Structure 1
């Protein structure tokens, strides 16, 4: 029988082998800006793209609107570059700032739903990493615009998009936010209930 030290080494090696595929996948998504197609030809989600990457995605997917969930930050290099790129491309631009660590007001989520419903498609929705805020907006789109069931829409907040709301992560706020939105959504209406409690 192996010694306790040898068993500990074997266990550590086994854990590294088990963790390698998810870690490799996460590194790949991070390196590729976490770009995903939510609804083919209609809605895409991503992390923050640089101007060149944004121009490439707009050309490749025919993006007509960019929804920035980081909010307006005039003077911030990333924001100014993005605004210039979008203007040069003739693409619509909407900024709605939310935090991945805080449940947004219902009115803000309604604003996101309205923007996703009313903006010219295809739409690219992005936040910084493409995991949490973009996941919430994508889930709102699937429920409020595409008419998916809430449980299906909630799959936009999943580890495959780098959304990890466990172990005390503040990003669990995005799951709570979607639950609030879904609980106040009336499927036979074109808008969620606007006077729901935050």
Structure 2
């Protein structure tokens, strides 16, 4: 117990408070690094999904017959070649930044070089954000789902954010439920299996609150004959 009338103990309290403040600020500075390390380590690699291991987190979405792929920000030539080798024609880009780097112009140049078109649909939360409660709104996710439905009718499509697990995980979960009529429990399992960050509970709740489709499919869906965004 501190006694404010005791100068010596008052100094002790001041030192303690200062030390706690320094620890708090140091912890905040390490959060972006911790998020990146977790993003690269918590990646699911299904044996049936073509692709490579690593931070690109590239996989085919089940039941789309090679028309829809998901993953993270393509950064080097080998990753761009991976997209090209899988016949990607359209990229739906959900992130503006990768870490603190603006990837917009660089990605446009690389996409043009490999004969791909980019559809930017930026949505939160961006990298290094402490807004754990944030999630894309309905207009953003509906726009992404419409773009998927339109682009996959013309060729293979790649949906990505920075690490292919949170914003991408949300959009793919909604696609699975609304278009493929996959049950919510199965879509949630995929969200976690592909490395969704547990502290981004805004995105988690967005999937949890999505209405269950009537007569939903528990297992892997077959390609839908009619596409819908709602």
TM-score by length of 1: 0.68
CA drift at 1:156: 2.8
Q: How many residues align?
A: 161
Q: Does 1:179 align with 2:179?
A: no
Distance in 1 (CA, whole Å) between partners of 2:156 and 2:104 is 21
Alignment partner of 1:60 is 2:94: no
Structure 1 consecutive aligned stretches of length 4 or more whose deviation exceeds 3 Å: 27-32, 184-189
Are positions 1:190 and 2:228 aligned together?
A: yes
Q: Which residues of structure 1 form unaligned runs of 5+?
A: 1-22, 193-198
- Counterpart CA distance in 2 for 1:189 and 1:62 is 21
User: Partner residue of 1:37?
Assistant: 60
Structure 1 residue corresponding to 2:142, chosen from 102, 110, 126: 110
Please, what TM-score do these two structures have when normalized by structure 2?
0.60
Q: Where is the helix percentage greater, Structure 1 or Structure 2? A: 1
Higher Rg of the two aligned structures: 2
The alignment's C-alpha RMSD in Å is 3.1
Shift of 1:28: 7.2
| Structure 1 residue 144 displacement after superposition | 2.2
- Please give the residue correspondences for 1:108-147 in structure 2 after superposition, counting only pairs within 5 Å: 108-120=140-152, 121-147=155-181
2:197 aligned to which of 164, 167, 189: 164
Cα pair 1:127 1:133 within 8 Å, conserved: yes
Shift of 1:94: 1.0
Q: Among 78, 91, 96, which residue is 2:103 paired with? A: 78
